[in-house]
Structure 1
């Protein structure tokens, strides 16, 4: 396609991207037009990017058309199931916090509890009423999700040690937020300062209203089960999250931001090698220092204004020392019962998935172009609020 060539303008392709998505999905109603603000900010930023490879441009263009096509299909499903938007989502438990704080391990562990429902990877990619588990293996959307993950790990095998995913496992909310072009996957893929400036400093209430609709759609076959939802990015949009989920229960995960930044820079360098001509780890570190510094500040500001009553704080060292015990304390705080069957399932998962199962993810602070002093200075307010100065951080 001409639009996939390295010289094509993304912004000038807006109409063509929509037309292609409509052809893929077979529908033409994109729903609430508020998504266009994020899409246009992204397209403009991609046109300004000087370091994208031709492969990177092609991958990102396909991500955009995929998100648009998924949006179309989901809009059609909402028309077919209009009753879902009235279904309750009572006191959902959200896991959020800085990246690389153990939130994925916690999510996977808690997700083994048969008393909770989660957003499975394949249903995050293609939201729809969750079918019986016995039907998943033969479902075309499940097969497509599994094939996409196989391709990802075959092309970048070292990612398995950093973030293992499977089609049937719990997944973050990135696919859903990408339908509104309000997801950090785009800044993860390439240096896009224009998009980041818009993304970090713009409220996203429309994206979170749609998020709730997608959760209602997926959970419509189990409307009375409590939800467990996880995404570090939610820390950046607490006002929009609480607007959509006023009774949300938040588990905020914590870790020394020096380790967070080193680990995340290493992770993003792997991702960006698929999209950029040259990967600048020092630039990634500077960008993410500011991105997550803003997120940390926003989280503290929310809690100072609204209080800590809907939050439970979990520090990385405490979770690693006693994973199942940590879950029990979370449940006690948020009035959730862990049955004997649930505890057995959690302990079996813990035994089968020890830390470093697929190899270690090694990194050192000195490798990343941002000093420890700079990190501590940027996160000063966060560290002070949570009593995590260096002698106590873990």
Structure 2
């Protein structure tokens, strides 16, 4: 029943494959905030322990990793996944939603042709229950080692349920990251194939094609939900305007610390030299590709630039056109 901090949570909730993991780790360098640790949320409910309990945290981490490393095939899969989505001590809060059954992976591997990401997200998933559970779980973590300023969360899954997220966290501060879709789509396909590699024979072209089709449907639904939320005329968006900030992948890659500084200025969060030094240290210790690199192209997944530009024209014009990117940058700086 302990109250959550009055600020935030600060939520990174852009499309998958748009730099969210980098941004999440940099934002987590703020000693006054708290992001869930992998050891907090990778298993079902266990009593929370303090972040400063290094012995207890290591014991839990070792227990989580040991069975994975004993299975050679699974360990190889983890290496492939890490090349696309690196593993860090902190983890996205999607793991909390998974405890409540909000697990979209099965829609990618199911043989049921009617089991599409869109139908599952819109019709089958009990999002009220999932977010009720999410808040209860976060409050449980908050009873031990409550952050001085705010909680930090990250998951593209929140895109599907902004209404439920804001119902439970009305003070949420939303960071939406955007990247060129001719990079997002093949990167998503590459990560998806690595993630579901244990569940199908890679030489089976029928299974592969179905999984790639559903991956693209998943991105379709992400963009559909995001556009619906951001173009709504019901008055809610106007009230939330100062609670939403758009960030482009290109700007994040060019000046990651500068972008974090802009975020803190925009949301009036406390910036410190300690945080900046921690971010610089993190960047030095975690160069891009440290845990492996993955390469991809549009052609290998049956995608092409023209179709992408036509299919997602509204999203591209709103968030990725040069004019809008300039206006976003100006509004952030002002």
Q: TM-score range by the shorter chain?
A: 0.7 to 0.9
Using the TM superposition, give the Cα deviation of residue 323 of structure 1 relative to its aligned residue in structure 2, in angstroms. 0.7
Q: CA deviation at 1:188?
A: 4.8
Q: Give, in angstroms, the shift of residue 346 of structure 1.
A: 0.5
How do residues 218-257 of structure 1 correspond to structure 2 at under 5 angstroms? 218-225=141-148, 226-257=150-181
Q: What CA distance in whole angstroms lies between the structure 1 residues aligned with 2:155 and 2:26?
A: 15
Structure 2 CA distance for partners of 1:100 and 1:161, relative to 1, 3 Å: same
- Indicate if the aligned counterparts of 1:318 and 1:326 stay in contact, CA closer than 8 A: yes
Where structure 2 has 5 or more consecutive residues not aligned to the other structure, the ranges are: 327-334
- The alpha-carbon deviation at position 141 of structure 1 amounts to 3.4
1:252/1:313 contact within 8 Å kept: yes
1:235 and 1:299 in contact (8 A); partners too: yes
TM-score of the pair, normalised by structure 2: 0.83
Q: Give, in whole Å, the separation in 2 of the partners of 1:391 and 1:116.
A: 31
The aligned counterpart of 2:330 is none
Deviations 1:263-292 (A, max 9, x none): 110111112220113364443332222222
Offset at residue 147 of structure 1 (A): 2.8
| CA distance in structure 2 between the aligned counterparts of 1:118 and 1:353, rounded to whole angstroms | 18
Indicate which of 119, 126, 130 corresponds to 2:36.
119
Instruction: State how far apart, in whole Å, the 1-side matches of 2:69 and 2:29 are.
Output: 23
Aligned to 1:251, the other structure's residue is in SS state strand
Is contact 2:264-2:270 (8 Å) kept?
A: yes
Equivalent-residue separation in structure 1 for 2:231 and 2:104 (angstroms): 25
TM-score (norm 1): 0.71
Once residues 223 and 157 of structure 1 are traced to their aligned partners in structure 2, the CA distance between those partners, rounded to angstroms, is 33
Aligned length: 308
CA contact (8 A) 1:182 1:199 kept: no
Aligned to 2:289: 356
Aligned equivalents of 2:177, 2:69: Cα separation in 1: 29
Q: 1:298 — aligned with what?
A: 225
**C-alpha contact (below 8 Å) 2:26/2:279 kept by paired residues:** yes
Alignment CA distance shift 1:370-1:105 (3 Å): same
Map residues 176-325 of structure 1 onto 2, 5 A cutoff: 176-188=96-108, 193-194=114-115, 196-202=117-123, 204-225=127-148, 226-277=150-201, 278=204, 280-305=207-232, 306-307=237-238, 308-325=241-258
Task: Tell me the distance in 1 between the aligned counterparts of 2:27 and 2:253.
Answer: 14
Residue 61 of structure 1 corresponds to: none
Q: Provide the C-alpha distance between the structure 1 equivalents of 2:144 and 2:298, rounded to a whole number of angstroms.
A: 47
Matched with 2:259 is 326
Matched ranges for 1:60-75 at <5 A: none
CA RMSD, Structure 1 to Structure 2 (Å): 2.6
* Counterpart position of 1:42: none
Instruction: Tell me the CA shift for residue 344 of structure 1.
Output: 0.5
